[in-house]
Amino acid sequence: MRVDVVCVGDPFLDLIFLGLPAMPALGEERLAQRLKIVPGGMGNVAFALRRLGLDAVICGPVGRDLAGRLLEELMADVGVPWHGRTADATPVTVALPVHGDRALVSVMPALTVDTETLRGIEMRAVVVDLPNVPLLPPIPRIYAVVGDPEVAALEGRLPDSLADVHALVLNEREAMGLTRRSDGEAAAAHLAALGTTVVMTRGGAGAVAIEPDGQTTVVAAPPAAVHDATGAGDLFVSAYVWADLAGRPIAERLRLATRYASLSLERATDQLKGIPLADFLDEIGG
């Protein structure tokens, strides 16, 4: 099988409680307006990549529990191929969006890579959780990502080199957590000095990329009316990978990724986020 991008790792089953007026305090019950149940994590990334015209698939364990059976059905409904061995448990996240941000609670099995399945796929690139990079077989281009659990697993135990990683995409809080630095740009520079291009999102402040030689590129975030920011990082990753594989310059990659994430969040429905390529090109003028 030949594809453009393999998203390596477990997709999540996301339960998103929309329309909360405020975050509940301990012991307090609040009513949301509605519940959205969609694939998350690598499911978001793969879906958005496919919306952008790339042939993207997921390679990760397929849970046989109730959550996994539901997630497999949802993935099939949105047309994202999912390859992998069977597993006992499925990652699940509860998202509570409030005031343009969100709080997340997740349960997830230990990180792993289904190397046997992955070896049977020919690809241009992978998107993978940073702790799993050493478990990969030889890959042409590796885009690494992290979330809070991965930051906790790696805090104080960063590898000596990230030269095998084409780009590390993360947010400012994650960069500071990985490096134990209190300044986001200093944290990103430290990671870039390990041999990779670090692409760091900064919410309303836009995004910055720092290359191994220290060259820094900064872009502002476009204004956006966002009610549910769940999946913003996944959308950014997908658009950055799409633009990079198309050979766009780094400043353009950052602009396109921030714009794609903003537009997709603004147009969010009760389905997965990520606007089609034709709509995106119309918005940005081709």
pLDDT value of position 271? 73
For residue 286, pLDDT over 70 is answered with no
pLDDT value of position 30? 94
For the chain, the helix, strand and coil percentages under 3-state DSSP, each to the nearest 5: 35, 25, 40
The structure tokens listed for 2 are: 């030949």
For residue 75, pLDDT over 90 is answered with yes
Report which of residues 278 and 228 the model is more confident about.
278
For residue 157, pLDDT over 90 is answered with no
Average pLDDT of the residues of the chain: 92
Please tell me the pTM assigned to this model: 0.91
Phi-psi region of 191 (alpha: psi -120 to 50; beta: other; left: phi over 0): alpha
Closest CA to 239 of 227, 219, 254: 254
